[in-house]
Structure 1
Amino acid sequence: MEISVSNLVRQEKYKLLIGSVVPRPIAWITSLSSNGVVNAAPFSYFNVACIDPMMISVAVARRPGGVMKDTARNIRETGEFVINMVDVHNVDAVNQTSADYPGDVSEAEELGLTQLPSAAVKVPRLGESRIHFECRLHQIVTLGEPIASDLIIGEVVHVHVDDELYVDGKIDIEKLKPVSRLAGLTYATIGEWFDRPRPTYEPK
């Protein structure tokens, strides 16, 4: 099948992208509004952006009319956020925070999530997660015309990792049991693992 993007409506583009670019890691982001409301929300347009300095990227789609979501607005205003990683133990709570809460209502408070102090930022981290990346805003890039998404690039300034997950300087994936996002209402765990040695180029 050949698909001309110019012939697709927004929903068709959305379904094609989220059904093809899988699995996607989930950033469970806590942020703080200028009024002190703790926001918690998941985003699956999330990945590593740079190693040194440590940076991550998260794209936050805008609401109809180009209105910023609470998370993006909070990060723009305060310059800080925390990414709480998602696993099989917290995925139900993560899913609950995806509801469309009003901006003046804290998902963390409503759901009784455990708010822990961070080391380098004012935004609290969530005790239901076992890996936390404290971040300071590096840059926001607006995408689309009219604006349809905010690409947030954050610099990681402090990391918390549960002791049992950190073995010989690496994260034990089997113990972490991460959860990723697929399309529709579907999430996924890690399936079969396999290795491939990295090849070396040898001139003929």
Structure 2
Amino acid sequence: MHYTSEDIKQLDKVTRLKIINSVTGIKPANLLGTINNEGLTNLAVFSSIIHLGSNPALLGFIVRPTGEVPRHTYENIKENGSYTINHIHPKFAENAHYTSAKFDGNISEFERCGFTEEFIADFKAPFVKESTFKMGMHFKDAINIPLNGTIMVIGEIEHLIYPDDAMIADDIDLEASNSVGISGLNSYYSLKKIGKYPYARVNETPEF
């Protein structure tokens, strides 16, 4: 199969969404938890979270154009500056997927999709109790992307919580943490570690 840019533009919307959302490979599967200033919580599945730097510990994610439908996650983050990122695990992947439905703003996906809100001291946004690997984030910046109207939201990790046995030697092991990945819009994958290699140095590169 070979598509040119013109071919891609001519695809019907659903086919184009499925293909282009898959071409980057397996992406991290996370639930973003937020709360508005009236106390109503929101939960939404995201597969666009990326590492931006370790010092400070910054992560970004992409919000689709805000003019099409209400973006409750983004609106809540702008209100109070806090949100959580929670890994999805196999036992609740189906529940997590349905948080992507366009529920009315007065409905909490926590309750509707069978999740438990979990709060910690001095942090406003709710974590997903069922997730064992989660981060509390502080909003730092939002960068508009004029090419397609999306927004990159940047936050700094304030709280990092993960199982003791997910740290193997000096690495986080995502297979041990039982985290899952997403391809396209609705396909979920388990993660299997295939190897661990030393830090790459020119003088230690094997002869392949």
The reply to whether TM is greater than 0.5 is yes
Q: Gapped runs of 5+ residues in structure 1?
A: none
Structure 1 counterpart of 2:22, which letter?
G
CA contact (8 A) 1:72 1:150 kept: no
Q: Partner of 1:18 in structure 2?
A: 21
- Does structure 1 residue 86 correspond to structure 2 residue 88? yes
Looking at structure 2, the residues matched to 14 and 128 of structure 1 have their Cα atoms a distance apart, in angstroms, of 30
- 1:37 matched residue in structure 2: 40
Residue 157 (str. 1) matches residue 158 (str. 2): yes
Distance 1:7 1:194, change over 3 A: closer
Q: Report what 1:111 is aligned to.
A: 113
Kindly indicate whether the alpha-carbon contact (under 8 Å) linking 1:119 and 1:158 is maintained by their aligned counterparts in 2: no
Deviations 1:100-158 (A, max 9, x none): 1111111112234221112442111111100111001010112236x632211111011
- Runs of 4+ in structure 1 off by over 6 angstroms are none
Structure 1 pair 166/114, CA: closer, same or farther in 2 (3 Å)?
farther
Q: CA deviation at 1:201?
A: 2.5
Question: 2:189 matched to which residue of 1?
Answer: 188
Q: CA–CA distance in 1 between the matches of 2:197 and 2:6?
A: 34
Which among 86, 94, 97 is matched to residue 95 of structure 1? 97
What is the percentage of aligned positions where both structures have the same residue?
22
Tell me, in whole angstroms, the C-alpha distance in 1 between the residues paired with 2:8 and 2:168: 50
CA contact (8 A) 2:178 2:190 kept: yes
Q: How does 1:167-182 map to 2 (within 5 A)?
A: 167-168=168-169, 170-182=171-183
> Distance in 1 between the 2:186 and 2:84 partners?
24
Q: CA RMSD in A?
A: 2.5
Does residue 1:47 correspond to 2:64, yes or no?
A: no
Change (3 A) 1:35 1:178: same
TM-score when normalising by structure 1:
0.85
In the aligned structure 2, how far is the partner of 1:5 from the partner of 1:143?
A: 22
